[in-house]
Structure 1
Amino acid sequence: MVRAPSWRMLAASFLLVVTAGQVAALDTPAPSRGPGHAAIASANFLATNAGFEVLGKGGNAFDAAVAVASTLAVVEQQSSGIGGGFMALLHRASDNRDVFLDARETAPQAVDMKTYVGKDGKPNRDVSTNGPLSAGIPGEPAGLVWMAEHYGKLPLSVSLAPAIRIAKEGFQPDARFLSAIDDRKAVLARYPASAAVYLPGGKVPQQGWTLRQPDLARTLERLAAKGADGFYKGETAALLVSASRDAGGNWQASDLEAYKVKEREPLRVDYKGYRIVTAPPPSSGGVAIAEVLNILSGFDLTKLDAAHATHLTIEAMRRAFRDHNEYLGDPDFVKMPLDMLLSPYYADGLRATISPDKATPSDLLPTAMAPEPGMHTTHFSIIDADGNMVASTLTVNLEFGSGFIAKGTGVVLNDEMDDFALVPGQPNAFGLRGTLANAPAPGKRMLSSMSPSFVFGADRTAVIGSPGGSTIITQVLEGILAFVDGKSASQITAQKRYHHQYLPDRVDVEAGVFDDATAKTLTDMGHVLKNRSPWGFMNVVTWDHRTQTLEAASDPRRPSGLGKVQ
């Protein structure tokens, strides 16, 4: 039986020999691509088409990303919006540069942890997920402007034009959008501006309803005309601050003026001849994915039956999520032992604690200071004709974020404050627990599971990501493993999923992911399997360098998505 002291001693012994140079030893491969087709996969056909519209006007992948993201902010507001934030991985083909764009929300200057703690000492979930006090300072508008100005070819007004047009002229929300309104109707009804947009006549609208958003269109027009100042200063900023404060929030004009996009160096890990480029903190996803892959690199999963290969993967997930909870936070505020966590020597120590045929109860691992998987985020993937690539995950956190629209702006504010460890050791809305490393502080970015990733191989490349709260990490991990195994984009998005996040100590499983024999073997090993409804909305683009063909696939679980090559 594996016992916690052994785990600690092994991990500590390998910590002593880690150096920063071991994190990324090789350069990202530089596949070449001549003029030709482009591919986009997003959660909504209107957003995918907006991306192609901008490509057709001479834009590149980065201009298309601005178009896709801003259109999603209009047509998929239950999952993303300019009142939220995003993380994006960019690959610029001209100089083979990979960069991570951090447009994550930040805590306002007046943040006070006591605001979010109930009388029982536990998080006050109503305050942390509903209304203006739950909202961090949005990063998406600044991120879109940054991407257009530093990487795009077209004026921002051209890339934002599809979103502005759809907001003005209207669109018919799909069943997912309407279902989300129904789920959040009680909260939306609290706020007059929200109710006016989403609950016409005080009722949840039916299929065939046309949603027009003139206030949001004007907000986007100010962004297009004045860049970041069109959102973070002037009329839009004044409306956001006054609406927040009138409804009990704590935003100040200085919070908006101080917001900055961060460019960060991506994480890189090598696995079975592939180079994975993924998200660094304040995303926790890339670290966890790299840690799992480093552990699995010591096994030959191809020589194992399905049950034992899955068992080892689950055990690697368990250990990576334990470290996720313990160590990670905003790198501008917290010193994290990334050299240790990303080291192959550390992975050797973790691997040695895994029994080949018995589950390790999470309470036998060192303790770290959990609810259903969620889908209230979105992701898109792009490759253009020149080989530029974008993997971007966007969010407002829960469905329709805080549920609060700032009057006169059409902007739905996020509820990302809940992603902080508001009470260390207590789970957030996705069951994730954290320490003071992820406690809120003025200007601090909350930890995220968003994991936009590239996978570079000698013959194939993939752009991959998904929404899904804490399940983002395992979805992207399983997608990477499937790509390495030779699966296509459509096979990757369609494959059944499983998930373990250390606590609660169980394996969430999608119906059909395991056959009866595999499920019985895993149960006999000590794994607790719990059936869940399907989760995720993965959007993947792949590129076969040998045939110069692209494939774009959107998750078949969500029919509103569109993966398209054109």
Structure 2
Amino acid sequence: MKQAVVLLFALLLPLSAAAQPSADPAHPPGAAIASAHGLATDAGLEIVREGGNAFDAAVAVSATLSVVEPISSGLGGGGLWLLHDAKSGRDVFVDGRETAPAAATPERFLDKDGKLDSNRAQNGPWSAGIPGLPAMLVHVAEKYGRLPLKQSLAPAIRIAREGFPVYGRMARGYAVKRAVMDRYPGTRAVFSPNGKPIAEGDLFRQPDLANTLQRLAEQGFDGFYRGATAKKLVAGVNAQGGQWTLAELAGYAVKERDPIRFRYHDWTIVTAPPVSSGGIALAQMLQILEPYDLKAMPEAERLHLIVESMRRAYRDRTFYLGDPDFVQVPQKLLTSPAYAAGLRASINPDKATPSALLSGAPTPLEDEETTHFSIIDADGNRVAATQTVNLLYGSGLVAPGTGVLLNDEMDDFALKPGTPNAFGVMGFDANAPKPGKRMLSSMTPTFMESPDKVAVLGTPGGSRIITMVLLGILGYDAGLDAKQVAALPRYHHQWLPDVIDAEPKAISAEAAAALRAMGHTLELPPDEAEGGRGSSHVWGNLETVEWDRRNGRLLGGSDPRYPESKATVLPSP
């Protein structure tokens, strides 16, 4: 019943989520923006109306999400953005991932017994990497935008000063994290003003964050990474026992990388390279699945093959992937059709492959957290952007006087080899922390292009991001539109633990029984299986836009699971 309601909601999305057909099939008939909060979508549309392109709109959407979605992302975090420049035809991956402070060695995250100290890895000053998102905003605005950075940041500055109503997800997340956030005076000043914690419906103002954004708007990179803001950030971290330096902030640099590109059926898929693990995993999974007619298969058979592809991709993620500036990632081999064929040959079509039978050591080779937005403009420029502070409200630490809530991305490193992090994934030497190194990410901003359609998609969701994007791609390939793709039910497997996890109503009772008979272990929500231990809550917040070249229509799909999400199309004048 719940999924039926979700699908009905998707079909009842407002007409503003679609544009009328265009007479010019070479260009979209306007701009489409889908993001996790209506104020952010509106900020992007405001900038488009003022003459900005998709990249200017992306700066506005990103900065506004940093104001209105502190539960998920912010100036104290980082992001991975995929850009398509229509004029040149170039795709570029912009890496604004956080970096490890020099003092944050693996030994700093172990307790007296040599075990991983999860509290230090996930909360407070030691959990925070050097932020990358402010540098990314400056970089994209200056290199790809039409408008001054000051103009694109204006909506976020205005909303931070004037405030916005606290919504349910924000209040619930704060209640979960409050015990940590109350440790720090800078955080209490923002989230418990006058000793009263924020509650749904409150007007939430952030004057310090508005001032920080204003300095960024006026001074660019130096407005955050040097000068007054930088001094306050370092002082705030070090006052709580951390060890940041001004030189580390000033030395941060955005990286531009070549995206991963491969074919799946009639689609060209353009997606995230390392330091994301998502693109390589997508290439492996989709190339494993390409020979199969998934649409014609019975549900259990289809799910079995998709899960087996997930299992193999996540196993490789564990051992081989890390920051390519520090380790040699065998990307060419891992994304090759021949390697995928070898993985496919190891799949028994009738039986699950126990994860324990896949090598547990590397073989020789030559949540509601995070946020995503998708944009297409009338020139055909595209942005798929995922950004994060990692777990709910990141580290919980706001540096006094900045309004900047810092990330807890250090937990995404393999701080203790072979020990799972907060998302249950683990790693080894390839993802061990080193000064200035970027931690491995699951963020997977992605473009799809066929002769008929262009789609932009991505989602939050920790280690589940990659499989949600996979299911979105398979949905588009099956003929679904953007609204339907955003509403698709979700399931996931990540090698270890060796279980299939699923949303409510994602797997029928008949298919679940057949999968168990094949040897799969399922953890389904309690309303679907008696005694089930799986999560009953929904996943992700997939945001997608598509341009159908056959009829010249633009369509936005915003995840119907989250009422504050919004997809809107702005027709060309």
* TM tier, smaller: over 0.9
Structure-1 separation of matches of 2:398 and 2:33: 30
Of 537, 560, 563, which aligns to 1:559? 563
Checking the alignment, whether the CA contact within 8 Å between 2:295 and 2:478 is kept in structure 1 is no
CA distance in 2, matches of 1:475, 1:302: 18
Give the aligned partner of residue 19 of structure 1.
none
Q: Aligned runs of 1:101-250 on 2, under 5 Å?
A: 101-250=94-243
Post-superposition shift, 1:215? 0.6
2-structure distance, mates of 1:511, 1:216: 38
From 284, 298, 301, the equivalent of 1:308 is 301
Return the alpha-carbon distance in structure 2 between the equivalents of residues 203 and 313 of structure 1.
48
Letter of the 1:230 partner, please give it: G
Give the aligned residue type for 1:63: D
Helix, strand or coil for the counterpart of 2:557?
strand
Residue of structure 2 aligned with 1:399, choices 374, 379, 392: 392
> 1:243: Cα distance to partner?
1.0
What secondary structure does 1:406 align onto?
A: coil
- Aligned equivalent of 2:546: 542
Q: Supply the AA of the counterpart residue of 2:563.
A: P
Could you tell me how far 1:300 is from its partner in structure 2? 2.5
Partner-residue secondary structure (3-state), 1:40: strand
Counterpart for residue 246 of structure 2: 253
Give 1:441-456 correspondences, 5 Å limit.
441-456=434-449
What is aligned with 1:97?
90
Displacement of 1:299? 2.2
Deviation of 1:203 (Å): 4.1
Mapped to 2, the partners of 1:57 and 1:444 lie a distance apart of 38
| Aligned counterparts of 2:126 and 2:538: Cα–Cα separation in 1 | 31
- CA offset at residue 303 of structure 1? 3.5
* Contact 1:464/1:541 (8 A) holds in 2: yes
SS in 2 for 1:46: helix
| Structure 1 CA distance for aligned equivalents of residues 419 and 201 of structure 2 | 42
Return the offset for 1:519.
Answer: 1.2
Amino acid at match of 2:284: E
Q: Is the 8 A contact 2:127 2:411 kept in 1?
A: yes
Query: Cα distance, 1:383 vs. partner?
Result: 0.3
Q: Give per-residue Cα distances to partners, 1:101-120, cap 9 Å, x unaligned.
A: 00000001222211101223
Q: Aligned ranges for residues 381-392 of structure 1 at < 5 Å?
A: 381-392=374-385
The letter for the 1-side match of 2:138 is: V
Question: C-alpha deviations, 1:458-484, integer Å up to 9, x for none?
Answer: 101110000000000000000001001
Question: SS state of the match for residue 280, structure 2?
Answer: helix
Distance 1:261 1:33 in 2: 32
| Residue 503 of structure 1, aligned match among 486, 496, 504 | 496
- Are the equivalent residues in 1 in contact too, given 2:372–2:385 (CA < 8 A)? yes
Worse overlay, 294-303 or 58-67 = 294-303
Give the deviation of 1:275 after TM superposition.
0.5
- Letter of the aligned partner of 1:144 in structure 2? L
The answer on 1:281 being equivalent to 2:295 is no
Whole-angstrom CA distance in 2 between matches of 1:190 and 1:241: 18
Contact 1:84/1:413 (<8 A) preserved? yes
Q: For residues 423-447 of structure 1, give each alpha carbon's deviation from its aligned partner in whole angstroms, at most 9, with x where no partner exists.
A: 0000001001101100000000000
| Counterpart secondary structure, 1:418 | helix
Q: Distance in 2 between the 1:189 and 1:349 partners?
A: 52
- 2 CA distance for matches of 1:557 and 1:153? 34
Q: CA deviation at 1:218?
A: 0.5
| Inter-partner Cα distance in structure 2 for 1:77 and 1:187 | 15
Letter in 2 for 1:550: L
Cα distance between partner residues in 2 of 1:120 and 1:470? 28
Paired with 1:203 and 1:516, the residues of 2 have a C-alpha distance of 47
State the 1:405 CA deviation: 0.2
Q: Please state whether the residue corresponding to 1:547 is helix, strand or coil.
A: coil
Q: Given the alignment, which residue of 56, 62, 71 partners 2:55?
A: 62
Unmatched runs of 5 consecutive residues or more in structure 1: 1-30
Counterpart of 1:418 in structure 2 is 411
Size of the aligned set, in residue pairs, is 532
Shift of 1:196: 1.4
**Is 1:356 equivalent to 2:360 in the alignment?**
no
CA distance in 1, matches of 2:472, 2:27: 27
1:478 aligns with 2:503: no
**What's the secondary structure of 1:311's corresponding residue?**
helix
Instruction: Give the letter aligned to residue 139 of structure 1.
Output: G
Q: In the alignment, is the contact (CA less than 8 A) between 1:128 and 1:415 conserved in 2?
A: yes
State the Cα deviation string for residues 481-527 of structure 1 (Å, max 9, x = none): 10011101111111100000000000001111122211111111111
Shift of 1:204: 3.1
Alignment check: 8 A CA contact 1:493 1:554 kept: yes
Identity over aligned pairs, percent: 56
Question: Structure 2: how far apart are the matches of 1:553 and 1:33?
Answer: 22
SS at match of 1:354: coil
Partner of 2:547, secondary structure, is strand
Alpha-carbon offset, residue 126 of structure 1: 0.7
Task: Render the CA deviation track for 1:148-179: whole Å, top value 9, x for unaligned.
Answer: 00000000000000000000111111101111
Offset from partner CA, 1:292-342 (integer Å, 9 cap, x none) = 011111323234211111100100000000000010000000001112111
1:380 aligns with 2:373: yes
Give the CA deviation at 1:100: 0.2
Instruction: Measure the CA separation in 2 of the matches of 1:205 and 1:245.
Output: 27
Matched AA of 2:271:
T
Write the distance in 2 (CA, Å) between the matches of 1:285 and 1:536: 15
- Aligned 8 A contact 1:33 1:385 in 2: no
CA distance in structure 2 between the aligned counterparts of 1:425 and 1:34, rounded to whole angstroms? 49
- 1-side partners of 2:387 and 2:488: how far apart? 23
After TM superposition, give the deviation of residue 121 of structure 1 in Å.
Answer: 2.5
Q: Please give the alpha-carbon distance, in whole angstroms, between the structure 1 residues aligned to 2:331 and 2:193.
A: 50
Q: TM-score scaled by structure 1?
A: 0.93
